[in-house]
Chains A and B, each alone.
Chain A
Amino acid sequence: MTVLRRKLAEAKAEGRAALVGYYPAGFPDVASSIRVVQAMVAGGCDVIEVGFPYSDPTMDGPVIQQAADRALAAGTTPKDVLAVVRAVADAGAAALVMSYWNPIEKYGVDAFAADLAAAGGSGLITPDLIPEEAEPWIKASDAAGIDRIFLVAPSSTDERLAKTCAASRGFVYAASLMGVTGTRDKVAATARRLVERTRAVTRDSGLPICVGLGISNGAQAAEVASYADGVIVGTGFCQRVLDAPDVDTACQQVRDFAAELAAGVRAAAR
């Protein structure tokens, strides 16, 4: 049982969705990013996805791209990513890494799985790795006893929903809309339908379904929490750090934002 699965089970026992926050390691520098993720946990995030900054983030909108660029310019390394994972775990939340595939393959798939587990990480989210290409990762994550989170999207066929959920462990990441990361005025209408379709294939396994993309305030978090097992927010945290004049202010705003979202997932009508 990973910390992730325990945290999701605890939230469920409390009758609420879990709050999952995304933040890239090394933005604006490693020490500051550790303070930010600590603030996210203090504000009420149950799970933190530590972003592995990558030069070509095809699925990310401008805010997360900018954060990743800044992290890379600051010289962030895989070791730094694992240090942030350790900090999240020490702060008492479940720690995941979210990474495009090439940096993991370059690190060494087996080595990354082992080192992530050793750093206290619960698993890895792979936005550009589909189960068909994931055999080495499935073996490595099994060997290390960590979770692997694949994505489903509104365009996924029922057959692919079943296949992807069968390959996932911990939870499955439901992309709420067709598009890249970033804030939206409204939660996409496609989100609820995707969760319903995904539920149809996870009924037996009970695999939790967490929804991300375009969720950026407490009301939206509450809306999604009414039908999902977890609510994933990323751009909103990065935007607050980008806008803040200094790290102290950034951490305060991040903590307040996490608290708003945490209240949201608790206010949901279920």
Chain B
Amino acid sequence: MTTNNTLPVPPYLGEGGHYGRFGGRFSPEALVAALDEVAVAWEKAKNDPDFQAELQRLLTEYTGRPSPLTEAHNFREHCNGARILLKREDLNHTGSHKINNVLGQALLTKRMGKTRVIAETGAGQHGVATATACALLGLECVIYMGEEDTRRQALNVARMRMLGAEVIPVTVGSRTLKDAVNEAFRDWVTNVETTHYLLGTVAGPHPFPSMVRDLHYIIGAEARQQVLDRTGALPDAVAACVGGGSNAIGIFAAFIPDESVRLYGFEAGGDGLDTGRHAASITGGSVGVFQGARTFVLQDEYGQTVPSHSISAGLDYPAVGPEHAWLAESGRATYAPITDAEAMEAFRLLCRTEGIIPAIESAHALAGARKIGAELGPDATILVNVSGRGDKDMTTAATYFGLLDDEGKQDR
């Protein structure tokens, strides 16, 4: 299969990484030179056939791309009969879409002559992918992870250490993903001569949102062609989960020019927006400046960040990438919250009907597809990004569904 992997610059991306009033570079002066270096290096690399060939080789031989498109024949009955096509990023090496971005930035790190990589991780998927790429490419690797998350995701800590990474538990602030990002920035400003900050999502200061988008563009480019090949038409809707929003931007990007295709981003609604315990930055937050960009943020009346909550560690972040903020405000994409309960029901249904255990993050997109199906009816074709696999979530799922109770309430 041939896929058009040329990276289009979105027409709405302005100078300095501004998406309308969103994005930009709200960063300390000390990091501006490094951000410029990354921006220039990336512009060169993405137009360099040798770099692209090396990246493509890794994506094919190492990651296992293209990831397949799987039709969910049985799950569709739980989506009001709509035709459901799953983009299987869960089948990538390391188990999620994260590897696409990581391999690109790790190659870029070597190209910039840097020897050390730092990254933040919440659930551990980005940390594991980064540790993997660093092991492959011989880079020193340090992963910052909130102490709270190292406890919740102990197995991923072991995976990262097994791969040779140093995992540093972050014990300041709320001890979760946002604090790991803060700590990574503090490391970067201190060690910028030797170190690249391999940011894991489409957030942060320019050029991270657009560079990470470019590296995930392949998800949508492949999927668009796969859907056309399979059905002879474009899908009616594309669904993805949104935390920082990298998998969603990746699959949306190829469809943004296709005006007939509706784009849906599903945020973590936690216990429900009205409870205040959620991670839905667009649907439950307000505009602010956070970790380098203007975007939607969960914040209080004084601009202090409010802790997020989600059953999915990968969506548990109090802001969202600035391109999503723009897509939401412009109306090109629609964003809606999915509660923990809705996501876990979709998680259970996909397991039972298709034999696919999705990441709980991705289960938010699946729950969203059920709502889109209800809205668009059985004639609709919905492309869903299954951004990751759920092996990492089995402790959470076992607790939630009572799978390890004496009675083994599997039928719940």
B178: chain A residues within 8 A (beta carbon): 56
Verify B186–A101 contact, CB threshold 8 A: no
Instruction: Give Cα A182 to B69, complex, Å.
Output: 52
Segment of B4-12, B128-136, B301-309, B320-328 engaged in the interface with chain A = B301-309
Segment of B23-31, B209-217, B399-407 engaged in the interface with chain A = B23-31
- Size bracket of the B interface: 35 or more
Instruction: Give Cα A153 to B182, complex, Å.
Output: 19
Verify B185–A58 contact, CB threshold 8 A: yes
Verify B289–A105 contact, CB threshold 8 A: yes
Partner of A102, one of B28, B192, B289: B289
Tell yes or no: B341 within 8 A of A by CB: no
A104: chain B residues within 8 A (beta carbon): 303
Verify A59–B189 contact, CB threshold 8 A: yes
Verify B30–A175 contact, CB threshold 8 A: yes
Segment of A156-164, A235-243, A255-263 engaged in the interface with chain B = A156-164
Tell yes or no: A72 within 8 A of B by CB: yes
Partner of B32, one of A55, A155, A179: A155
Tell me whether A153 and B290 are in contact in the complex, defined as CB-CB below 8 angstroms, given that A69-B173, A103-B303, A180-B190 are known contacts.
no
Verify B303–A164 contact, CB threshold 8 A: no
Segment of A17-25, A124-132, A140-148 engaged in the interface with chain B = A124-132
B196 to chain A minimum Cβ distance, whole angstroms, is 15
Tell yes or no: B53 within 8 A of A by CB: no
Tell me whether A160 and B173 are in contact in the complex, defined as CB-CB below 8 angstroms, given that A72-B304, A128-B27, A130-B27 are known contacts.
no
Tell me whether A101 and B26 are in contact in the complex, defined as CB-CB below 8 angstroms, given that A69-B173, A106-B288, A180-B190 are known contacts.
yes
Instruction: Give Cα A239 to B7, complex, Å.
Output: 50
Partner of B29, one of A56, A77, A150, A179: A150
B24: chain A residues within 8 A (beta carbon): 132-133
Tell me whether A175 and B304 are in contact in the complex, defined as CB-CB below 8 angstroms, given that A56-B291, A58-B185 are known contacts.
no
Verify A58–B28 contact, CB threshold 8 A: yes
Tell yes or no: B33 within 8 A of A by CB: yes
Least CB separation from A127: chain B residue? B28
Tell me whether A65 and B173 are in contact in the complex, defined as CB-CB below 8 angstroms, given that A56-B182, A58-B186, A180-B186 are known contacts.
yes
Verify A128–B173 contact, CB threshold 8 A: no
B396 to chain A minimum Cβ distance, whole angstroms, is 27
Tell yes or no: B64 within 8 A of A by CB: no
Task: Give chain B interface residues in 275-302, CB to chain A under 8 Å.
Answer: 288-292, 297, 299, 301-302
Least CB separation from B36: chain A residue? A157
Tell me whether A156 and B29 are in contact in the complex, defined as CB-CB below 8 angstroms, given that A56-B182, A107-B303 are known contacts.
yes
Instruction: Give Cα A72 to B305, complex, Å.
Output: 11
Tell yes or no: B16 within 8 A of A by CB: yes
B290: chain A residues within 8 A (beta carbon): 56, 102
A residues whose Cβ falls under 8 Å from a Cβ of B: 54-59, 61-62, 65-66, 69, 72, 77-78, 101-107, 127-130, 132-133, 150-157, 160, 164, 175, 178-180
B residues whose Cβ falls under 8 Å from a Cβ of A: 16, 24-34, 172-173, 178-179, 182, 185-186, 189-190, 192-193, 288-292, 297, 299, 301-305
**5 closest Cβ contacts across the A-B interface?**
A106-B303, A153-B30, A103-B303, A155-B33, A179-B190
